[in-house]
Amino acid sequence: MIVTSTKLGPDPLVPALEQARKGHAPAPGGRLALRVNFAWTLVGNLVYAGCQWGILVVLAKLGSPEVLGQFALGLAVTAPVLLFTNLQMRSVQATDARRDYDFRDYLGLRTLTTAAGLLAIVGIVLASGYGPETGGVIVLVGLAKGLESLSDVCHGRFQQLERMDRIAVSVMTKGILSLGIMATVILLTHNLLWATLGLAASSALVLGGYDFRNVLRLTRQAPAARVGANGRCGSPWHHLWPRWSARPLGRLVWLGLPLGAVMCLISLNTNVPRYFVEHHLGLRALGIFSAMGYVMVAGTMVINALGQSATPRLAQCYAAGNLTAFRRLLLKMLVLGAVLGGAVVAVAVLAGRELLTVLYRPEYAEHAGAFIWLMVAAGIGCVASFLGYGITAARYFRIQTPLFLLVAGVTAAGCAVLVPSHQLLGAGWAVAIAALVQVVGSAGILAYALRNARLVRK
């Protein structure tokens, strides 16, 4: 079932949609070409991923697998909660081709849901019985990611305007700053708690110093920012003030709730193996498993760069009924995903042990077999991710929930059976099996969306 929203005002993008129907991209003020957006997003995501990877390397080199496992546990606990409360508003923003909602609506909802997510994380820490240091790390990681959630709603605005250069500069700045602060603090204090506080500080600096300022700058360039609904001139500063109007917020929650559930399930699919590894094998094994798994992020960054850049264009083509252009662009993305996935697996098979030794320590290379299977899962996931971007561009949100519920269930069942008996290798097998299930299910949903679109327009 496709989810639509009730329009709150006139349709300002009808001319753009008519151009998309004819196979031509609309040209709203200031937007960048798809190729340029992809290049910016790719560079930005690669730099950010490299910096996040650098944090893990710093923890592995200057700390121990146990310290790395503690940090990984913080990420594993906080990610599903915040991804659910985020409601994937960025995708809703990016595909809001008719501008049914204002940036202030998205910001208002995100501030409320982020606060709820942080309270939930504190509750989990208090109920779980973690020690003071581990609990403090989890809460501070949650605070850092909560601030990133507020940056994300700004990025949704940039993506909607097809200005991925602003997002790229933001994430590169945040990545470099967070790596520098965490590396310095770890080197001087060898205290993970202070290092995660530095991570939260870097997120706050980028949010206030860059993201909000650039939303305001883009707003000032728009005539609608200077003239209000009553025709009087107004300050653009009010565009940075969250709006908590019950009716649009309720509709946005209804739109975003299935995507929030999907993102939570995707995160659980990533983190469920970590829960099992930590429970059965301890923090040391969790640190090793998380370090190997993060190598997957390099490929993911390329996928996200193209997927995020292409989502508005795909959404415009689908909304305008230009299914030929939609399929053509998505097919190019899938071919790239398959090539990239194959390359990742080849590197793992040919040089996995050497790569783990150089990046981390020799004890990580002892688990090269598990690393290969994690890369197989990553290769399959490249294709699955592009299929997911196509489904989201078609605004088929709710149908993704049962798919990822199935995928998370397969992951949990596989880990329950395989981790106790085969340890990290079993965890790698479980992740690969779940990725294959995701590809098959996503392909079926996308085929249904395209067939339904053809039937509706006949």
What share of the chain has pLDDT > 90, as a percent?
33
Q: Above 60 in pLDDT, residue 19?
A: no
Query: What average pLDDT does the chain have?
Result: 82
> pLDDT of 344-387, one tens digit each?
899 999 998 998 888 888 888 889 999 999 999 989 988 999 99
Q: How confident is the model at residue 13 (pLDDT cuts 50, 70, 90)?
A: very low
Say whether 22 sits in a helix, a strand or coil.
coil
Q: Above 50 in pLDDT, residue 274?
A: yes
Q: Above 60 in pLDDT, residue 111?
A: yes
> pLDDT of 30-57, one tens digit each?
677 777 877 888 788 888 888 988 898 8
Q: Which residues contact 89 (CB under 8 A, 6 or more apart)?
A: 106, 109, 110, 152, 153, 156, 252, 256
Q: Which residues contact 404 (CB under 8 A, 6 or more apart)?
A: 261, 262, 265, 266, 269, 438
Q: Above 50 in pLDDT, residue 17?
A: no
Q: Above 50 in pLDDT, residue 223?
A: no
d(CA 239, CA 320): 29
Tell the residue number behind the tokens 């008996």, with chain if given. 421
> pLDDT of 120-129, one tens digit each?
999 999 988 7
> pLDDT of 181-203, one tens digit each?
999 999 998 889 999 999 999 99
Least confident of 240-244, 382-386, 426-430: 240-244
More confident of the two residues 453 and 83: 83
**Residue 270: DSSP 8-state:** H
Query: How many beta carbons lie within 10 A of that of residue 77, not counting itself?
Result: 24
CA count, 13 A, side-chain hemisphere, 63 = 29
What share of the chain has pLDDT > 70, as a percent?
86
Tell the residue number behind the tokens 């809460």, with chain if given. 139
pLDDT of residue 177: 95
Q: How confident is the model at residue 318 (pLDDT cuts 50, 70, 90)?
A: confident
The β-bridge partners of 227 are: 233
Give the orientation angle of helix 296-320 with respect to helix 323-359, to 10 degrees: 170
- Mean per-residue pLDDT for 249-266? 84
Q: How confident is the model at residue 179 (pLDDT cuts 50, 70, 90)?
A: very high
pLDDT of residue 26: 40
**Cβ–Cβ < 8 Å for 56, 291:** yes
Say whether 396 sits in a helix, a strand or coil.
coil
Q: Above 80 in pLDDT, residue 425?
A: yes
pLDDT of residue 20: 40
Say whether 227 sits in a helix, a strand or coil.
strand
- Mean per-residue pLDDT for 328-338? 90
Q: Which residues contact 57 (CB under 8 A, 6 or more apart)?
A: 359, 360
pLDDT of residue 239: 65
pLDDT of residue 361: 83
CA proximity to 298, closest of 267, 367, 344: 344
Q: How confident is the model at residue 216 (pLDDT cuts 50, 70, 90)?
A: confident
**Cβ–Cβ < 8 Å for 295, 375:** yes
Say whether 417 sits in a helix, a strand or coil.
helix
pLDDT of residue 116: 95
pLDDT of residue 273: 92
Q: How confident is the model at residue 151 (pLDDT cuts 50, 70, 90)?
A: very high
